[in-house]
Structure 1
Amino acid sequence: MYLFIIFAEVLFWVFVVLGLITRYMFGKKKLGGLLLLCTPVIDILLLIAVFITVSSGMEITTATGLAACYLGITVAFGHRMIKWADVRFSYWFGKGPKPKPKYGAVHAKEERTVWLLHLLGWAIGNALLLAIIVYVGDPQRTAALDGLMRTWAVVLAIDFIVSFSYTFAPRKNKR
């Protein structure tokens, strides 16, 4: 399962890069958009792999849980990651405007928004983890998932502290 998660992440970025190269370097906007639209297919394949693992009686490991986490994060951040890459490709290859770093209140708001997306990804991922736990109905088989949920809650709390700290101590332009 670990290899499948890595494969899914790599495949996600391969489709993003191919879509953007097709769009900006070859000027084929529709084909580039189609390649970008293929990224959710990767999530569906990963979801199928998790379902096969869970329903076949195979061992449920942290990797199974990480797949659920990956799905939650990709749903929450996928569009934003593609947009981030699109802005940079537009600048590098399509004569678009240079992306500008954010400072002060704008940066603080951005950090809070990203944390809210993390919260959304956490909620989706944990809903999937809970669905697996309920579906399996065997606490011994799903113990790794419980541990993963607790760990992710701690990471989310730390991310909250860091993200919202910018509200009180905004990032300054060093110029």
Structure 2
Amino acid sequence: MIVTLIVICEVGFWVLLAGGLSLRYLARMPRTGAAVLLLEPVLELVLLIATAVDLKNGAQADWKHGLAAVYIGFSVGLGHSTIRWVDQRFAHRFAGGPPPVKPPKYGMARTVHEWKTAGKWILAAVVAMGLLQAAIWYVGSGDISSLRTWQSKMLWVIGINVIIALSYTIWPKERKAVETSKSERPDLVKRR
């Protein structure tokens, strides 16, 4: 039941996102579109309640309950930025909005971008770990090894994201000399 509910929540996320953006830009109903987009957190709340009820009814804590906690954590950490990313592209494509903002490619700006991205992933992992710990306390006795396994996987997510951001800090990506010379001398830039 929990896996099915996770799939329903994921499909619901994209349906609400498409519906909210369509109302906002195509139907020119920005308030209604915003109201639909605000329903997104309700999906996670339903999943959280269903998982708690399943555990309360005596279900053995297993990988499905851990997956539900991870899904909720990632929705909290990455949901808003995903909605903003899709919103920029939808507005540009269907409502004549400005082109989507691209992340910086070089230097300190790229490093800051990588740390912000890592921060979102770390937030997602920490929320998931917190929910997993709450489930462990809620279950009390019994086999909680699958929940502990999910917690260790979240530590890997944190570690990988810190390593990526740290690599951009230690070895920042710089423009190549050819790109720099072309940008400094417009007469070298190939015209279309």
Fold similarity call, TM over 0.5: yes
Q: Which has the higher contact order (CA 8 A, sep 6+)?
A: 1
For residues 172 and 5 of structure 2, what CA distance do their matches in structure 1 show? 39
How far is 1:172 from its partner? 5.7
- AA aligned to 2:148 is D
- Which portions of structure 1, spanning 4 or more consecutive aligned residues, are displaced by more than 3 angstroms? 168-175
Give the length in aligned residue pairs: 174
For residues 96 and 168 of structure 1, what CA distance do their matches in structure 2 show? 37
- Does residue 152 of the first structure (1) align with residue 159 of the second (2)? no
For residues 137 and 103 of structure 1, what CA distance do their matches in structure 2 show? 48
For residues 173 and 66 of structure 2, what CA distance do their matches in structure 1 show? 35
Partner of residue 20, structure 1: 21
Identity of aligned residues (%): 32
> In the alignment, is the contact (CA less than 8 A) between 2:92 and 2:98 conserved in 1?
yes
For residues 175 and 94 of structure 2, what CA distance do their matches in structure 1 show? 27
> In the alignment, is the contact (CA less than 8 A) between 1:133 and 1:139 conserved in 2?
no
Structure 1 residue runs without a partner (length 5+): none
> In the alignment, is the contact (CA less than 8 A) between 1:103 and 1:170 conserved in 2?
no
Partner of residue 165, structure 1: 167
How far is 1:88 from its partner? 0.8
94, 105, 110: which one aligns with 1:103 = 105
Partner of residue 30, structure 1: 31
Please report the TM-score for the alignment, with normalisation by the length of structure 2: 0.84
Please report the TM-score for the alignment, with normalisation by the length of structure 1: 0.91
> In the alignment, is the contact (CA less than 8 A) between 1:112 and 1:163 conserved in 2?
yes
Partner of residue 9, structure 1: 10
Partner of residue 120, structure 1: 123
RMSD, aligned α-carbons: 1.7
> In the alignment, is the contact (CA less than 8 A) between 1:53 and 1:60 conserved in 2?
no
- How far does the alpha carbon of each residue in 1:131-162 deviate from its partner, in whole angstroms, 9 at most, with x for none? 1111111242x110001111221122112112
- AA aligned to 1:72 is G
How far is 1:60 from its partner? 1.5
- AA aligned to 1:131 is A
> In the alignment, is the contact (CA less than 8 A) between 1:88 and 1:98 conserved in 2?
yes
- SS class of match (1:57): coil
User: Cα gap change, 1:165/1:57 in structure 2, threshold over 3 Å: closer, same or farther?
Assistant: same
For residues 91 and 10 of structure 2, what CA distance do their matches in structure 1 show? 23
- How far does the alpha carbon of each residue in 1:47-67 deviate from its partner, in whole angstroms, 9 at most, with x for none? 111111111111221111111
Structure 2 residue runs without a partner (length 5+): 180-192
133, 137, 140: which one aligns with 1:134 = 137
